[in-house]
Structure 1
Amino acid sequence: MSTSKAHNYDAGHFLASKEASSPNLDDIFKDFEFSVQGSGIHQPFTAIFHRMAGKVPDKIAIECYDKAISYLDLEIKSNQFAAFLTAAKVTEGSILAVALDRSIEMVVAMLGIVKAGCAYLPVDPKLPHERIQYMLEDAQAKAIITSKSVLQEVSCTAEKLDIDTIFPILEEYSDVYVERVEDTSSLAYLLYTSGSTGNPKGVKITHKNLTNLLLSVQQAPGMHMDDRLLAITTISFDIAGIELFLPLITGATVVLANSDAIKDGRLLYKLLQEKQISFMQATPATWRMLTMAGWDKPLPLRILSGGEAFPKDLAMQLMGLCDEVWNGYGPTETTIYSTMKQLAPTDDQITIGKPIDNTGVYILDTEMNPVEEGAVGEIYISGEGVAAGYHGRPELTADRFLPNVLEEAFPIIYKTGDLGCFLPSGEIVCKGRIDHQVKIRGFRIELGEIEQQLLQEPAIKEVAVHTWEDLPGNKRLVAYVVLEDASKADQGLFSKLITAWKDRMMKRLPEYMVPGDWMPLDKLPLTTNQKIDRKALPSPRPVLPGFIDPTQQPTTETERLVHDIWCRSLRMSSVSVDADFFDLGGHSLLAVEVMTAIDRQTGKNVPLTTLFSHATIRKFAAFLDQHSGDASWASLVPIRTNGHLTPLYLVHGMAANAGTFFKLLHRLDDQQPIYGLQSKGLDGTDAPLETVQEMAAHYLREVLEQNPDGPYILGGYSFGGYVAFEMARMLKEMGKEVSQVLMFDTQAVNMPMYHHQHTGSFAALKARLARRKVWIQVMLKAPKTYQKFKKRAAKHKKEKILQKLGLAPAPSKDGRGAVIKRVRAINHQAMVKYDPKPLDVPVIVFKAKIIPSKSSNHWANGWTDYCKDVTVIPVEGDHFTLFEEPFVDDLGKRLRHHLAGY
């Protein structure tokens, strides 16, 4: 175009203009005359980046995995990308989608699109294909720049451009920078957010919007040329704009975190240290994940939290771990952040601070009049950050983007839907939402969008979606459903409907918008105005699949026998033959009770783990029918034998059986082989092993017979951690590869309070009080688990009293319970006598967060005395409940994330 400005240069020009010493940011911007108060906001951010590339050509602009690109090369590649698009007849003002994995190529494409005078549409390639297709069609995107895997799946009218085909030919195109953005009110990007009508809506962000935000945040919290920013956010979340572009207009370095690290607090913490990160932005959910993953030592780091409300306890904790903590607030419609505040330990409450540059914030009543100081009203925002409205939604735009009658400087005011109030200091406190919009992990969700999707299901008559928080920081979605056919509210049938609904929703909605909890209701509670009374929605209860199903009653003699035994133990009148014993409330102690009854009535003695691997009446009865006598007994118990990942070999706790580890089966990768190890002697025939070394040698014989070459991942729960540690020593002495040893809350033997019995009345009282403190915490975090344990303890106490009075038969000396008790006592003595020696093997400690007392709270459970390479991963629950619902979900998730790094 004749009006475009071309800038010819070569590497020599850049190097000639480079200062001898590292340039000062203030000097650079005196030359630029780009500032938030001056002409800066009237320039596209790519123009500022172009000038910065001329000042620091050799400096690293982006690091990603083991790759890096300098400012000069990034400038040249993005210019060539823009030239490629222009040669391909892409007209200025077009919308081009970017759906790429996190990479340097992704940033080049985004810069190139803007430099071509177009707007980019950021698309997370992991989104459901139906959602990607809708966004492309709604945006009328001219092209989508992506990879072959997405190209094949997404159906759309947009031209599909393969990044792997484009990059090799970029050298053929001009590397000249051309300013094609003549009007900064033109579009820079289009970003889709959740919409209440059932489909997402596109927010139009202009160059002026984005540049104003970047230059303002550059001043506070501040970005410096020597900063290294860790970018962790998907590009479909608006705050990614700060992570990718703020460093590039400043001369700093962007470090792109990989997708594994983003999900794993342990890996993220490692990146912060290894990459010498000085600035990071994240949602409170991510900050909490980091603190839970073992971040307990201060780092030279400035952090910015945004996307959702910042809990005060978390903010205060973070202030002790880094140099500065900032809180930002702003809807996507006002370009990422509209207010900012540096938090201090003396703050009485967490505020969202004051407006950033060129921004007005108002708190108004229902008549749009300003409220008095301290009074609550709705937050409205004006200024250079206010977007150009919603793409293709004129009515919605008119409803939310209003004429600003309060201030002439900014003609448009945005109605946020957030409640807030002004403090005497001028700072703002956000008080939540007026409507049914929520935020989970920073993602804005219109509950109405989920409800509209569910109402398309013919089985659903009415639905309400709401949030609840079962654990601090773990906000979840629950769907309350009124069915067309009330008879299908039966738990067995309802669970099948849930599976079908979730499968269909995962094809249309992001994972974070699919409810995790479901509850059938006869009718939805209503207010006097006949609207859904969300405050009256009941606390969700889990739907347990396969309770009573008339079509799934036992049909064979063996099924009826097993059915009757299960019903007595589970205190139920009837159970479906396809119901899972553990989903119905079964646990390890009930499993012993059931198997003892099976022994008595069948004369067979099958391993206890049979119930874990055949957990339905149909499967268990079939197993019994196929085994006429005693089943062959072994310590090695297959839990999942297929899969290409390194096998896990997990050693029993003090209670001697490996049934605990079956709970990990559906919580780990389906390609993860898992084997449990149970004590010799549990069959009541073989003599139990008496030392940790004997157990390790015996278990290894069975492991090596099954897997002679390795590699191996060993692990153990509680006492089992010692055996796994000793097995690792023996394997290394054989020259075998041991990847790591997993300790599930195993205390190292130099922690005497773990092993020695409390003596004396005072010590005994202290121990009881410490245990009571633990149970109070369990009760608060998982009341159902607490009640289950209390009922179990009460039942056991009642049985002992009745036995003493002669009103109940004494326990059998040869029964399974008695056998386990004997083996448990032997295991305890083996633990007390065990004296481990230091070993060069990585140890991963999954440490229970609930502990009896501070005196027993070594940060790594004492394992640093025996290993140099120790990693701690905190998990929910205490020593006795971390494998129990709901805590085992957290353990499974963290173990899966950890193993994904190997």
Structure 2
Amino acid sequence: MGISKTQDYDAEHFLASKEGSSPFLDDILQGLEQGSDIHQSFTALFHQVADTYPNKTAIEFYQKTISYLELEQKSNQFAAFLTAGKVIEGSILAIALDRSIEMVVAMLGIVKAGCTYLPVDPKLPHERIQYMLEDAGARAIITSKSVLQEVKCTAEKLNIDTIFPILDEYSTSYVERIQDTSSLAYILYTSGSTGNPKGVKISHKNLTNLLLSVQKAPGMSPEDRLLAITTISFDIAGIELFLPLITGATIVMADSDAIKDGRSLLALLKEKEISFMQATPATWRMMVMAGWDKPLPVRILSGGEAFPKDLAIRLMELCEEVWNGYGPTETTIYSTMKRLDPSDTQITIGKPMANTDVYILDEAMNPVAEGEVGEIYISGEGVAKGYLGRPDLTAERFLPNNFDLDYPIIYKTGDLGCFLPSGEIVCKGRIDHQVKIRGFRIELGEIEQQLIKEPAIKEVAIHTWEDIPGNKRLVAYIVLEDASSTDEKKFSKFINLWKQNLKKSLPTYMIPVDWMPLEKLPLTANQKIDRKALPEPIPARPSFVNPKQQPATETEQLIHDIWCKSLRMSSISVEADFFELGGHSLLAVEVMTAVDQKTGKNVPLTTLFSHPTIRKFAAYLDQNSGDGAWASLVPIRSKGHLTPLYLVHGLAANAGTFYKLIDRLDEQQPIYGLQSKGLNGIDKPNETVQEMAAHYLQEILEQNPDGPYILGGYSFGGYVAFEMARMLTDMGKQVSKVLMFDTQAVNLPQKNHLSTGVLSRFNAQLAKRKVLFQVMLKAPKTYQKMKTRAVKRKKEKLLQKLGLAPAPPQDGRAAVIKKIREINHQAMVNYAPHSLDVPVIVFKAKIIPSRSENHWANGWTDYSKNVVVVPVKGDHFTLFEEPFVDDVGEKLKHLLNRSNH
């Protein structure tokens, strides 16, 4: 009973439950039984599927989509681009890109070029990225210009923004460059006990076997829609990105903000009609905490760490099917699989997948009896080719298989387990000091190796503890060289220093949350650290709070109390970062739910990520309620090393429109919005364009006195931005460019003598209806929203006129905006721009506004000798509405990247 052979799932049952399966899908499932298709690369399988479903949507991201044919051709062109350059087959190419369709194209292109891809999370510390690139001998890295600007490496940096515009010059034909499926598909770095991460070598055969196995159970059909939420540097991303593509299903890619927000993920499940999703237990718990209380027609797969029974039971009530997967990175993501059932008495990891054997052995490597605990060993087609450049470590973990000559290598997992009478396996935890937190594999020794370098530290031990289900955290137990430094104030200063040093080489999830000073570490009889004897960290962790950093307002005190309760702390500095204190997406949901209940507001979860200290978060709440200090300058994204972008509101006075750009521009691009003075209902509004420009510049110069600056404005805001540029140049400041989002410099109101005759009114209405008709054809959802809002406004006005509804308050928000809108309109009428020697970029709506002349540059050639026109989708009023804002964002990002380059 110590050995379990490959589990044969019921293929007939699977096919019967998947109506509409294609003959091609039937063939590859049959091929899996015979073991033939594992000798193909996954890109070859994708090529066949693309030929079967050319017009089907392969990927959705925001409002952008790409069909199977387009994805096939574009990735073929990417491969041709690489092979036409210096890249040779077999090279290792790193990829560090934000989530996008282009990211998937690049991954497929690298493999189709006969190369190996190395996934890199751009958010990792630069030292860690540099180590991986050098250790892997990466020949090149595919990235955006800003992502790795500060990383020093010998690998050539290929800018994705300069590659895509030239891909059409290359062949769209598929070329099979992978002659041997034992060659590498990707290298994935995992935490290493010696202080540096290690690269696991995964072959094409490894990956293909895994994909075909999961395609069979839990199963996937061309009708499925999978929600992809995992970063590419986490191995389970391979399931999300490649399984649908070898099946004919659709990938719905979630953005980086939604991944952190249980409410957003839950909304996506419903809105996008998702039928399959994979995540770690931490993410599933976050979604349940976010309000998932009604069943949805979705099949889910949980992996990455142990599946708590209470969570599994709850999810079985909410989903059609719940599957539990197990497997280390070294055996290609998953090695066993189990569909859970409410009648299960315990959560198991199931039975081996196709072409996989699992053994449970004692210390002498003999099989243990049924029910006895031993170490889990795995052999089969999923076992990796060892560690890159680490023959010593490979020899320790990848051992000769004496049980089955068909699979000569057996992998020593370090996990404990036992067989049940049913043949299923129960995982019992780890033998060594490896842990998993929110799905990330962490070698505690790697953190210890980094900390022991600190001069003040004599001894260190890293351990985990879990105060509430799902909230596992790292604890650092420290023995100091100088015992007197355990004074709370001194120790807190050390903690801050150690954290900053760790951040240079370790990802955020590997930074200890709790820090405990000890006189000495507990030891076993063999003089080894007795981790079981390490004390539980006290709730009031060393966190000296200066009186100046204590809550100073009611709102700060409210947030302070909520954070202390969630983080299990007695006191928190108002300047401390929520996530550095141990907060994560799961706790963020808990915190934001409490904020909603206490304040009556429902602010986005991303607010906590953009305002991660008590002081910043409280100021945000105060400003949004009108209680705090109010400013025209609104930081949308304040971080980033690129030239800041300052964007001025339209007639409606609010800068909220520009928040839609935050995920459409480079993450290193600072963005600031400008909103009209007086929107708080207290301050007196500015009445001329010149007054507005001077007021906005005053706030900008306080924040950024030296420049350079990129200014822009939507509609009316373009005039204000142009005037701000004039004032800055008069001061001797550098203005890189002025962006006009469909601002008209022809037919300014003072020159526009509109007739009031019947024929003129008829022509105006006809022109307006023509514009609306074009919007309706190109964006029906946007058109319907506009019509719904218009009908609602007319109904409200009619009811108010008839006395059936109360009139809006004279000092209410709507009345304030209406008043400022009228002031802004009059300021536009009175404004006369003067020529300026500054580049002007006109983002011109393709659907021409009904009251505008169709001048090729909207008239700005009269005021600047350097005018560039960028046509964008939509009309004047829908420019920043879905789906047109995607086009604006993409072209603005391309323009800014070219300028930075």
Aligned to 1:532: 529
**Contact 1:418–1:434 at 8 Å: present in 2 too?**
yes
> 2 CA distance for matches of 1:110 and 1:587?
48
> 2 CA distance for matches of 1:708 and 1:516?
47
Q: Paired residue for 1:359, among 353, 356, 361?
A: 356
Task: Tell me the alpha carbon deviations over residues 123-164 of structure 1, each in whole angstroms, 9 at most, x when there is no partner.
Answer: 111111111100000000000000011231211000100000
Aligned to 1:69: 66
- Number of residue equivalences: 594
Q: Paired residue for 1:294, among 286, 291, 294?
A: 291
Distance 1:489 1:77, change over 3 A: same
> 2 CA distance for matches of 1:436 and 1:95?
31
Aligned to 1:513: 510
Q: Paired residue for 1:311, among 289, 308, 311?
A: 308
> 1 CA distance for matches of 2:428 and 2:24?
42
Aligned to 2:38: 41
> 2 CA distance for matches of 1:142 and 1:327?
38
> 2 CA distance for matches of 1:679 and 1:90?
58
Describe the SS at the equivalent of 1:179: coil
> 1 CA distance for matches of 2:341 and 2:451?
44
Give the C-alpha shift of residue 35 in structure 1: 2.9
Task: Tell me the alpha carbon deviations over residues 19-45 of structure 1, each in whole angstroms, 9 at most, x when there is no partner.
Answer: xxx973244543897435331000000
Moved over 6 A (4+): 612-616, 649-654, 676-680, 726-730
Q: Paired residue for 1:472, among 457, 469, 473?
A: 469
The residue identity in structure 2 corresponding to 1:666 is: T
Task: Tell me the alpha carbon deviations over residues 271-321 of structure 1, each in whole angstroms, 9 at most, x when there is no partner.
Answer: 111110000000000000000001111110000000000000000000010
The residue identity in structure 2 corresponding to 1:481 is: I
Aligned to 1:720: none
Give the C-alpha shift of residue 543 in structure 1: 3.4
Distance 1:132 1:613, change over 3 A: closer
Greater CA drift, 497-506 or 277-286: 497-506
Q: Paired residue for 2:323, among 323, 326, 332?
A: 326
Distance 1:678 1:94, change over 3 A: closer
Describe the SS at the equivalent of 2:175: strand
> 2 CA distance for matches of 1:652 and 1:433?
42
> 1 CA distance for matches of 2:307 and 2:625?
46
> 2 CA distance for matches of 1:239 and 1:466?
25
**Contact 1:480–1:521 at 8 Å: present in 2 too?**
yes
Matched, 1:666 2:613: yes
**Contact 1:422–1:428 at 8 Å: present in 2 too?**
yes
Distance 1:166 1:286, change over 3 A: same
Distance 1:207 1:587, change over 3 A: closer
Q: How does 1:572-583 map to 2 (within 5 A)?
A: 580=550
**Contact 1:124–1:234 at 8 Å: present in 2 too?**
yes
Matched, 1:423 2:448: no
Give the C-alpha shift of residue 94 in structure 1: 0.8
> 2 CA distance for matches of 1:613 and 1:408?
60
Describe the SS at the equivalent of 2:535: coil
Aligned to 1:247: 244
**Contact 2:444–2:462 at 8 Å: present in 1 too?**
yes
Greater CA drift, 147-156 or 382-391: 147-156
Give the C-alpha shift of residue 671 in structure 1: 10
Aligned to 1:658: none
**Contact 2:201–2:385 at 8 Å: present in 1 too?**
yes
Greater CA drift, 240-249 or 665-674: 665-674
Q: Paired residue for 1:501, among 498, 501, 507?
A: 498
Aligned to 1:141: 138
Give the C-alpha shift of residue 652 in structure 1: 8.6
TM-score where L is the length of structure 1: 0.62
Aligned to 2:682: 705
Aligned to 1:543: 541
Give the C-alpha shift of residue 186 in structure 1: 0.6
Describe the SS at the equivalent of 1:152: coil
Aligned to 1:285: 282
Distance 1:125 1:665, change over 3 A: closer
**Contact 2:336–2:350 at 8 Å: present in 1 too?**
yes
**Contact 1:390–1:396 at 8 Å: present in 2 too?**
yes
Matched, 1:401 2:482: no
Task: Tell me the alpha carbon deviations over residues 487-539 of structure 1, each in whole angstroms, 9 at most, x when there is no partner.
Answer: 11111011011111111111211100001111111111111111111111111
> 1 CA distance for matches of 2:810 and 2:421?
65
Distance 1:77 1:504, change over 3 A: same
Q: Paired residue for 1:260, among 233, 257, 261?
A: 257
Aligned to 1:271: 268
The residue identity in structure 2 corresponding to 1:300 is: P
**Contact 1:327–1:340 at 8 Å: present in 2 too?**
yes
**Contact 2:809–2:815 at 8 Å: present in 1 too?**
no
> 2 CA distance for matches of 1:316 and 1:727?
50
> 2 CA distance for matches of 1:40 and 1:362?
25
Give the C-alpha shift of residue 471 in structure 1: 1.8
Distance 1:111 1:679, change over 3 A: closer
Q: Once superposed, what is the RMSD of the aligned Cα atoms?
A: 3.5
Aligned to 1:82: 79
> 2 CA distance for matches of 1:309 and 1:728?
56
**Contact 1:185–1:207 at 8 Å: present in 2 too?**
yes
Task: Tell me the alpha carbon deviations over residues 172-206 of structure 1, each in whole angstroms, 9 at most, x when there is no partner.
Answer: 11111111111111100000000000000000000
Task: Tell me the alpha carbon deviations over residues 612-639 of structure 1, each in whole angstroms, 9 at most, x when there is no partner.
Answer: 99999xxxxxxxxxxxxxxxxxxxxxxx
Q: How does 1:386-785 map to 2 (within 5 A)?
A: 386-541=383-538, 542-546=540-544, 580=550, 666-667=613-614, 673-675=620-622, 704-705=681-682, 731-732=812-813, 734=815, 736=817
Describe the SS at the equivalent of 1:386: coil
> 2 CA distance for matches of 1:241 and 1:195?
21
Aligned to 1:619: none
Distance 1:398 1:413, change over 3 A: same
Describe the SS at the equivalent of 1:41: helix
Q: Paired residue for 2:98, among 97, 101, 105?
A: 101
Q: Paired residue for 1:207, among 204, 207, 211?
A: 204
Task: Tell me the alpha carbon deviations over residues 79-132 of structure 1, each in whole angstroms, 9 at most, x when there is no partner.
Answer: 111111111131111110000000111001110111111100001111111111
Describe the SS at the equivalent of 1:320: helix
> 1 CA distance for matches of 2:294 and 2:399?
48
Structure 1 residues not aligned, in runs of 5+: 1-21, 548-575, 592-611, 617-648, 655-660, 681-700, 710-725, 738-902
Distance 1:653 1:527, change over 3 A: same
Task: Tell me the alpha carbon deviations over residues 41-68 of structure 1, each in whole angstroms, 9 at most, x when there is no partner.
Answer: 0000000000111110000001111111
Task: Tell me the alpha carbon deviations over residues 417-445 of structure 1, each in whole angstroms, 9 at most, x when there is no partner.
Answer: 00000000000000000001000000000
Structure 2 residues not aligned, in runs of 5+: 1-18, 562-570, 576-594, 601-606, 628-677, 687-806, 819-901
Q: Paired residue for 2:175, among 166, 174, 178?
A: 178
Percentage identity across paired residues of the two chains: 70
Describe the SS at the equivalent of 2:296: coil
Give the C-alpha shift of residue 484 in structure 1: 1.1
